[in-house]
Structure 1
């Protein structure tokens, strides 16, 4: 990068960071920030407001939501509560606190606003009036709570909290108080980014007494060494009350150790608060069964279900249980797409959901009487939640050009109207690059949807450095997402064309396309990547001598594999948290069902031809062909793909005298979540690419 360009960028960063912002004594916001450039920067991405959870009032007249703003200097975010009055469109900020308020909801009767806050020293449930007055603490649970949900009649509160059940070394050896060690006897001793601590997330139920929560609460999972919601990503969507307030359904994988590591068999359980009994509603269904939700008339329960045990990327089906007859029905049997974010119509005759189709996530509706599934929205966007009301829905929407905002959508016409406008002022000052959708023929004669993102002020008469983006997952669609890290518009703003193929193995293009990748790592999907970049390299505005390949997780593996098989196409690589050595990955990852299904077995099964083909395609087998500069990035707390994978790739490159750099984050995991680490990530990312592609 030229010195003048670096100087200009630093000036932009300093101006952006020094724009007027509110005092952190009463909260923090980046509203009204003044920009001195029309180009997106890493610092600016972190300064945009991030819309959090959204709640529609019972009378369908107001919407609650949270917005988080990041104070880069303090390396932390501040979250406050906002409200939209739908009739007038007026937005009101309800809180302005240095203490974050999260998990905001209207109470079931619509009279209060509930939220979680750590103002008292631990995270507890709080409430306030609709005008933000009379704020008070509702729970006082030792150690704090993590989720909450009032029963429809508001006579009980369900909440989740951590329950210590297992002994550690200090219980075994009390005379060694300064000893620091772990003793493990089974698998799943760590998960994604944290070690098991001997505590489990349990559901508690407490009676409400004059607006407060009784201390006589009960643990409905007493002495069970299981978690609900499921760790590490499950939330309150995995727990729900029945309409009569007498039962509570919850998702749980009641397995442990090796069995837990090898299985995805999570079930939905129904706890009866009157007789303290628990029933498994999905017994015999062996895949993930999650997110139960009851129809308003109390007759049905809908949930998301996967069919096969051990396959985390199986088709996510919409199942219906008739609570009177006990009969179960797959409502998406002939629907070759996944479902998510289920929501009932007020009349209990329809279920709304979102689903990925050929890239974007759209809103759908299934009619229970006819079984017909209707697509409500079209266009190039991701709808990530849906809350129905008469003749319209409230939804959150994201695009590659725009972070999440709240919209209302006319269900008859599909016409949408933005409601939240959290980032309108800032985004109106920026130039975004054009986003194009192309269909490219693959080597097996299929059609592959590919996103092309062009730099702002793109000139077809010029030549541009171009990046091949390799997606992770491995089964995770390249949709219309807006990312704090893998942000295509940010890459385009730095003068790069981005080529992002929805290669074999990604959902949204039918289950056959999605499953092709399992057992074929290094196979057809790698051919897809090479096809996509070869097709684009023929365009006169793509500089064939300045091509790079980038990616994270499975995308990081893809970069390592391409490094040994690209035949000098690329001039630079960036691999974040990628798999370098398949045998080491199999032996050191945590969710064993993942590697068992996708690699089709362990490396020691020499008679397993599919598995052996997978291990033969391990990137470390091709390092003799490495000849291109590579930046390797990894976090120490990444337990899905341990950081030694990144060390192995970096060390190999240096031993082979290939230009290489290792960016290592001791406190980050599979993701980079700290603001300043995130900005550092981008600075090193572009410094490396600019060095070899500009």
Structure 2
């Protein structure tokens, strides 16, 4: 149980930087209903670092300017006792990644692609790195005498370098797969460089992966959490998938490597020395191939292994580990590796969901971690014997930041469907837990807004199981009125519909526009056991789609729902879901919106970059016709059911989305128009799988609701 919740807030100060960006803001809103413009005014809490003495913390907040169409990151100092905040930076460019160094005397941070340092009070700012290449991230050793710098190096495995006399040529000669990734062409790779720091300057940076065409951190989302210093600073543990080209494209097998600074040697903690992977068929799922079979008595950590952390006593390295190669959504387990013996222990096996972040406790005998269960991401603890204990039980999503000053609790960011991230301190106290809010970055805004109520609802599925559905009601909801409703289709395809706050797929924004939102945790989502999670693999259009329909049908029975005006919306796999439901909804929906969705699965197979995705989820290549399961998967492609489309559809896509190419939206839009179905397309030439620029984000919101209002509010 929760013993106490103490909420402390700081007064919001309005501080303009040199370029007109605002720090904490106190806008006067025209009403208590959220708009896209209000959403984009909110400050977004970033990194947080606690001072060694526990008295202060430095953190970043990003603000977005609609007028300048860009973001700006500002650093703040938080007094942990009074909760008062002080803005440390007001410069034209962003400052980020701030951490305490030199035992808390200084703060190091990134500015203009280099590492800078200031006093702990924000004074005396000096540049301490002068690298020729831009630094994207950094990590100081515990004694602050060395630092890892993340910089990019040339990578020409798939795209060969053009002739020297053709320096203005834009053409690319491509020889292998993985020539593109997420939103860019692969001509460089991030590498960790180790440099020395004498207290005034960073020098002698040396690439610890020199000559290797691999990534560390791993793209597209990896940061310095994928590396760790040993407590004595003599070793570095790092994450790397040492594959390139086709081998990279079909595999999720990354490992944890241990680099010794004294003799400059590297060893793999995941694989035995001399390990050779079995040959695989690259156009079929790795699920039942030899690489995922127990071909030896040695645990070879075949899936994603990442984010290592040394125990405080230096005897162990823990990391997040997936069991199977080729399965990006496998359950993440917490692996603890004993350096003296090489023994691996998985300490979260009794937790039937995946581990997100984790932290060692000071005794080196137990760890904190977060994980999603029943649509909520809470904080847990485990010892080295695998005894797991739940510490928080809230309708929220937590993200661990660090231990608190005493080491007997943690600092964590917390968000919900009704509020973005804020910083909290969580302290276990026997059978209870104390939860104290430390920041309230957007208090002046939220004090003026009315949020819609969020309710947990359990719905019976067609096979007699229970499905968790979040229902979000409009502000000032009146049960005597009728409201149009939206079915939200989740992406992933195996990402949870937990208590997340989104700056685009924002449920409160949808509710503020007068819609009841129905957000199911359908088949294929984590937090309900492995059977529920894996029923989607190889079956994109089976029970998971029936779960969507069960959810909307159940809520539509309520007298306050206008069942004649229902819509379905979703992105990524959610966009695929919308395209498929367009041909199978049997008149339920009067408006559809698909963002970055798969319209043609055969087309998708040869267009995407990370081939393990369609291999695992669809079974393999569409030309593998001898495999009945593969034939069945492609037979359910949404494009084969366009003849049954009836509902007006909006197709949205980013042209820099290499995960799901924009040609999918163009094809769906063209098909709808050719069939005489009302359709609209919103293309973003400069956005990827997400919409990141402020004006594009507002255009997205306005287009989204104009389309829905046109068809659902008649």
The TM-score by the shorter chain falls in which range? Answer: over 0.9
Query: Counterpart of 2:110 in 1: which secondary structure?
Result: strand
What is the alpha-carbon distance in structure 2 between the residues aligned to residue 488 and residue 531 of structure 1?
20
Determine the structure 2 residue equivalent to 1:381.
396
Determine the structure 1 residue equivalent to 2:83.
89
Given that residues 22 and 30 in structure 1 are in contact (C-alpha distance below 8 angstroms), is that contact kept between their aligned partners in structure 2? no
Determine the structure 1 residue equivalent to 2:489.
470
Determine the structure 2 residue equivalent to 1:11.
none
| Aligned residue runs from structure 1 range 141-180, under 5 A | 141-166=131-156, 172-180=162-170
Q: Determine which of 26, 44, 52 is the counterpart of 1:50.
A: 44
Q: Does structure 1 residue 540 correspond to structure 2 residue 559?
A: yes
Query: Counterpart of 1:531 in 2: which secondary structure?
Result: helix
Task: Report how far residue 676 of structure 1 moved.
Answer: 0.2
Query: Counterpart of 1:217 in 2: which secondary structure?
Result: strand
Deviations 1:379-436 (A, max 9, x none): 1000012422334321100011101100112312223221111011110110000000
- How has the CA–CA distance of structure 1 residues 625 and 167 changed in structure 2, closer, same or farther, with 3 Å as cutoff? closer
More displaced 10-residue stretch of structure 1: 167-176 or 629-638: 167-176
What is the alpha-carbon distance in structure 1 between the residues aligned to residue 97 and residue 265 of structure 2?
29
What is the alpha-carbon distance in structure 2 between the residues aligned to residue 169 and residue 523 of structure 1?
39
- How has the CA–CA distance of structure 1 residues 241 and 34 changed in structure 2, closer, same or farther, with 3 Å as cutoff? same
What is the alpha-carbon distance in structure 2 between the residues aligned to residue 170 and residue 576 of structure 1?
33
Given that residues 159 and 179 in structure 2 are in contact (C-alpha distance below 8 angstroms), is that contact kept between their aligned partners in structure 1? no
Determine the structure 2 residue equivalent to 1:259.
247
| Aligned residue runs from structure 1 range 187-586, under 5 A | 187-197=177-187, 199-214=188-203, 216-283=204-271, 284-368=300-384, 370-389=385-404, 390=406, 391-412=408-429, 413-586=432-605
- How has the CA–CA distance of structure 1 residues 622 and 169 changed in structure 2, closer, same or farther, with 3 Å as cutoff? closer
Given that residues 42 and 63 in structure 2 are in contact (C-alpha distance below 8 angstroms), is that contact kept between their aligned partners in structure 1? yes
Given that residues 155 and 186 in structure 2 are in contact (C-alpha distance below 8 angstroms), is that contact kept between their aligned partners in structure 1? no
- How has the CA–CA distance of structure 1 residues 316 and 169 changed in structure 2, closer, same or farther, with 3 Å as cutoff? closer
More displaced 10-residue stretch of structure 1: 69-78 or 568-577: 69-78
What is the alpha-carbon distance in structure 2 between the residues aligned to residue 171 and residue 498 of structure 1?
50
- How has the CA–CA distance of structure 1 residues 116 and 172 changed in structure 2, closer, same or farther, with 3 Å as cutoff? closer
Determine the structure 1 residue equivalent to 2:286.
none
Given that residues 24 and 441 in structure 2 are in contact (C-alpha distance below 8 angstroms), is that contact kept between their aligned partners in structure 1? no
Q: Does structure 1 residue 100 correspond to structure 2 residue 89?
A: no
Given that residues 238 and 290 in structure 1 are in contact (C-alpha distance below 8 angstroms), is that contact kept between their aligned partners in structure 2? yes
Deviations 1:572-627 (A, max 9, x none): 00000100000000111000011100111111111212211110110011100001
Query: Counterpart of 2:37 in 1: which secondary structure?
Result: helix
Task: Report how far residue 239 of structure 1 moved.
Answer: 0.5
Task: Report how far residue 189 of structure 1 moved.
Answer: 0.4
Given that residues 350 and 388 in structure 2 are in contact (C-alpha distance below 8 angstroms), is that contact kept between their aligned partners in structure 1? no
Q: Does structure 1 residue 629 correspond to structure 2 residue 648?
A: yes
Determine the structure 2 residue equivalent to 1:592.
611
Higher relative contact order (CA 8 A, sep 6+): 2
Query: Counterpart of 2:382 in 1: which secondary structure?
Result: strand
Q: Determine which of 66, 70, 74 is the counterpart of 2:64.
A: 70
- How has the CA–CA distance of structure 1 residues 275 and 453 changed in structure 2, closer, same or farther, with 3 Å as cutoff? same
Task: Report how far residue 169 of structure 1 moved.
Answer: 8.7
- How has the CA–CA distance of structure 1 residues 585 and 374 changed in structure 2, closer, same or farther, with 3 Å as cutoff? same
Given that residues 295 and 348 in structure 1 are in contact (C-alpha distance below 8 angstroms), is that contact kept between their aligned partners in structure 2? yes
Determine the structure 1 residue equivalent to 2:283.
none
Query: Counterpart of 1:355 in 2: which secondary structure?
Result: strand
Deviations 1:126-172 (A, max 9, x none): 11111101111111111211111111122211111011243999954
What is the alpha-carbon distance in structure 1 between the residues aligned to residue 393 and residue 401 of structure 2?
15
Q: Determine which of 24, 27, 35 is the counterpart of 2:29.
A: 35
What is the alpha-carbon distance in structure 1 between the residues aligned to residue 601 and residue 472 of structure 2?
32
Task: Report how far residue 511 of structure 1 moved.
Answer: 1.4
Determine the structure 2 residue equivalent to 1:644.
663
What is the alpha-carbon distance in structure 2 between the residues aligned to residue 112 and residue 222 of structure 1?
31
Given that residues 138 and 212 in structure 1 are in contact (C-alpha distance below 8 angstroms), is that contact kept between their aligned partners in structure 2? yes
Determine the structure 2 residue equivalent to 1:79.
73
What is the alpha-carbon distance in structure 2 between the residues aligned to residue 56 and residue 367 of structure 1?
24
| Structure 2, unpaired ranges of 5+ | 1-12, 272-299
More displaced 10-residue stretch of structure 1: 285-294 or 100-109: 100-109
More displaced 10-residue stretch of structure 1: 542-551 or 92-101: 92-101
What is the alpha-carbon distance in structure 2 between the residues aligned to residue 425 and residue 169 of structure 1?
50
What is the alpha-carbon distance in structure 1 between the residues aligned to residue 230 and residue 631 of structure 2?
49
- How has the CA–CA distance of structure 1 residues 393 and 171 changed in structure 2, closer, same or farther, with 3 Å as cutoff? closer
What is the alpha-carbon distance in structure 1 between the residues aligned to residue 229 and residue 160 of structure 2?
40
* TM-score (norm: length of structure 2): 0.92
Given that residues 452 and 497 in structure 1 are in contact (C-alpha distance below 8 angstroms), is that contact kept between their aligned partners in structure 2? yes
Deviations 1:212-245 (A, max 9, x none): 112x221111111001000110000001101110
Determine the structure 1 residue equivalent to 2:692.
673
Task: Report how far residue 652 of structure 1 moved.
Answer: 0.0
Task: Report how far residue 177 of structure 1 moved.
Answer: 4.3
What is the alpha-carbon distance in structure 2 between the residues aligned to residue 585 and residue 31 of structure 1?
44
- How has the CA–CA distance of structure 1 residues 224 and 453 changed in structure 2, closer, same or farther, with 3 Å as cutoff? same
More displaced 10-residue stretch of structure 1: 254-263 or 406-415: 406-415
Task: Report how far residue 645 of structure 1 moved.
Answer: 0.4
- How has the CA–CA distance of structure 1 residues 563 and 165 changed in structure 2, closer, same or farther, with 3 Å as cutoff? closer
Deviations 1:313-356 (A, max 9, x none): 00100000111111111112222111121111122121111100
Query: Counterpart of 1:411 in 2: which secondary structure?
Result: strand
Given that residues 108 and 115 in structure 2 are in contact (C-alpha distance below 8 angstroms), is that contact kept between their aligned partners in structure 1? yes
* TM-score (norm: length of structure 1): 0.94
Query: Counterpart of 2:704 in 1: which secondary structure?
Result: helix
What is the alpha-carbon distance in structure 2 between the residues aligned to residue 57 and residue 150 of structure 1?
14
Query: Counterpart of 2:710 in 1: which secondary structure?
Result: helix
